């Protein structure tokens, strides 16, 4: 007997998306079922291309449908239609951007910019369209981190972002010399951030990652008040785990109703290259997790201390590019997957008013 669409859907129904706690069939992820004799083809459309269980879904779907009597061949195409989140009245500022992710820290030097760029790259790697806005007006580091330099063009009063590693990039560092100290007064910071949000042609993006100024001072505050943020990540280091800073950060985002997706502990431990089984927690273990627990947010991961981060950083090669198989790169990928899923779940709870239906074929 020939297989039917109903049979295929029944076979797929037991596959449950752990984030939504529902079947992928019920969620409407299964699309375009085509049956030709013993050959079955269909598409699974996820809510983010950065879904960490993508391969698992694909394998399970293939297996289940192939097990149906009368089926000889199964082709599963994985795609994503990135969900975006309603983010208040400022949403109109970045009409083509589906999700904005703020990367914040209590202090400078903890690896905020490193985390921001590697999360951006990991999302890009999975097939998402991604921009990175270096809003750290006091210490713009994007030119150094990416090796991308030059002055962005303006077309019809719109500033065109530069590109590097497949990301759209914008930084104050593209406009001022890297050696000249940047001294901004409050109103100037306000103006600059407003320009980065209003006058830059970001185009259609699944994610805009924003490297925030450190701390909870004027510059950071301005951004959280002006930018339509979907979520935030707070970066800390193991040797500087300040509960007070973390709380301040959390409060800053709470004030503008931006969910803090979690805490990243950077430079957590060291693995000597000649002793790959050892992990030295030089500054103590589990501190970031405790801080996360105390302030009531999720813990997203521990990034190891790796000299290649510094080495690559100085050459404009982020660790995801410089040492893609390193543990540090792996952790950044894992964190980006968690972030993407959290944003997708938030979006599902409060979808954007006008959600365009563009789909990306996931790589
Ligand atoms: N996991 C890591 N291992 C080793 N060095 C790191 C790591 N994360 C960041 N660094 C280095 O620490 C310094 C500060 O990082 P950066 O991302 O510029 O911090 P921030 O943006 O918070 O000021 C840089 O030299 C960077 O290369
Ligand atoms: Mg920085």
Q: Which atom of ligand 1 has the smallest separation from the CA of 116?
A: 17
Report CA dihedral (13, 15, 18, 24) to the nearest 10 degrees: -50
Nearest ligand for residue 117 CA: 1
Q: Which atom of ligand 1 has the smallest separation from the CA of 310?
A: 27
- Return the structure tokens found at 327: 């543990």
| DSSP strand pairing (260-266 vs 299-302) | parallel
pLDDT at 90: 56
d(CA 303, CA 83): 27
Q: How buried is residue 317: exposed, middle or buried, by Cβ count under 10 Å (0-12/13-18/19+)?
A: middle
pLDDT at 186: 65
**What contacts 255, CB < 8 A, 6 or more positions away?**
224
CA of 139 from ligand 2 middle (Å) equals 6
d(CA 209, CA 265): 18
CA of 109 from ligand 1 middle (Å) equals 6
pLDDT at 178: 59
pLDDT at 361: 40
Q: Which atom of ligand 1 has the smallest separation from the CA of 266?
A: 1
d(CA 345, CA 352): 13
Helix, strand, or coil (residue 23): strand
CA of 33 from ligand 1 middle (Å) equals 47
- Residue corresponding to tokens 């369209």: 129
Write the DSSP string, 179-241. Answer: SS-----HHHHHHHHHHHHHTB---SEEEEEEEPPSTTSHHHHHHHHHS--SEEEEEEETTB-
Q: Which helix (H) or strand (E) holds 146?
A: helix 142-146
**Cα angle: 17, vertex 5, 49; to 5 degrees:** 35
Q: Which of 207, 206, 224 is nearest to 215 (CA)?
A: 224
Q: Which residues surround ligand 2, an ion (CB under 5 A)?
A: 113, 136, 141
Per-residue pLDDT of the chain (363 residues; tens, 9 = 90+): 789 999 999 999 999 998 889 999 999 999 999 999 999 999 999 999 888 889 999 999 999 999 999 999 999 999 999 888 756 555 678 889 999 999 999 988 899 999 999 999 999 999 999 999 999 887 889 999 999 999 999 888 899 999 999 999 999 889 876 566 566 666 777 888 888 889 999 999 999 999 999 998 888 888 898 888 999 999 999 887 777 888 888 999 998 889 999 999 999 999 988 888 899 998 888 889 999 999 999 999 999 999 999 999 889 999 999 999 999 999 999 999 999 999 999 988 875 444 433 333 433
Q: At what angle do helices 243-255 and 218-226 cross, to 10 degrees?
A: 30
Q: Show the beta-strand stretches assigned E in the chain.
A: 16-17, 22-23, 30-36, 39-46, 73-80, 97-105, 130-134, 154-155, 158-159, 162-164, 167-171, 205-211, 231-237, 260-266, 299-302, 360-361
pLDDT at 193: 85
> Which pTM value belongs to this model?
0.89
pLDDT at 242: 78
Q: Are 27 and 20 in contact (CB under 8 A)?
A: yes
d(CA 194, CA 97): 16
CA separation, residue 185 to residues 188, 192, 221, 261 (Å): 5, 11, 14, 30
């Amino acid at each position: 007997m020939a297989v039917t669409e109903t049979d295929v859907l029944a076979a797929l129904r037991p596959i449950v998306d752990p984030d939504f706690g529902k079947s992928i069939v019920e969620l409407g992820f299964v699309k375009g079922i085509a049956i030709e004799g013993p050959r079955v083809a269909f598409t699974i459309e996820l809510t983010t291309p950065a879904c960490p269980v993508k391969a698992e879904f694909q394998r399970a779907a293939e297996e289940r449908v192939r097990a149906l009597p009368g089926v000889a061949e199964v082709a599963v195409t994985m795609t994503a239609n990135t969900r975006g989140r309603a983010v208040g009245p400022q949403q109109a500022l970045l009409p083509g951007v589906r999700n904005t992710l703020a990367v914040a820290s209590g202090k400078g030097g903890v690896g905020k910019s490193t985390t921001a760029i590697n999360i951006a790259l990991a999302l890009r790697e999975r097939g998402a369209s991604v921009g990175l806005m270096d809003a750290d007006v006091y210490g713009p580091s994007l030119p150094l981190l990416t090796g991308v330099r030059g002055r962005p063009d303006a077309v019809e009063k719109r500033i065109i972002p530069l590109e590097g590693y497949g990301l759209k990039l914008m930084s104050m560092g593209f406009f001022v010399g890297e050696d000249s100290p940047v001294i901004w007064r409050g109103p100037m910071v306000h103006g600059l951030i407003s320009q980065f949000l209003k006058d830059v042609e970001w185009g259609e993006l699944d994610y805009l990652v924003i490297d925030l100024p450190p701390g909870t001072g004027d510059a950071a505050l301005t951004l959280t008040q002006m930018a339509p943020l979907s979520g935030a990540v707070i970066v800390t280091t193991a040797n500087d785990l300040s509960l007070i800073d973390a709380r301040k950060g959390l409060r800053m985002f709470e004030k503008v109703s931006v969910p803090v997706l979690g805490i990243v502990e950077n430079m957590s431990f060291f693995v000597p290259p000649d002793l790959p089984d050892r992990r030295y927690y030089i500054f103590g273990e589990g501190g970031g997790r405790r801080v996360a627990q105390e302030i009531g947010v999720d813990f997203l991961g521990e990034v190891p201390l790796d000299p290649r981060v510094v080495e690559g950083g100085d050459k404009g090669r982020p660790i995801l590019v410089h040492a893609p198989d390193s543990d540090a790169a792996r952790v950044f990928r894992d964190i980006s997957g968690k972030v993407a899923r959290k944003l997708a779940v938030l979006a599902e709870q409060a979808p954007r008013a006008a959600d365009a239906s563009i789909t990306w074929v996931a790589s």
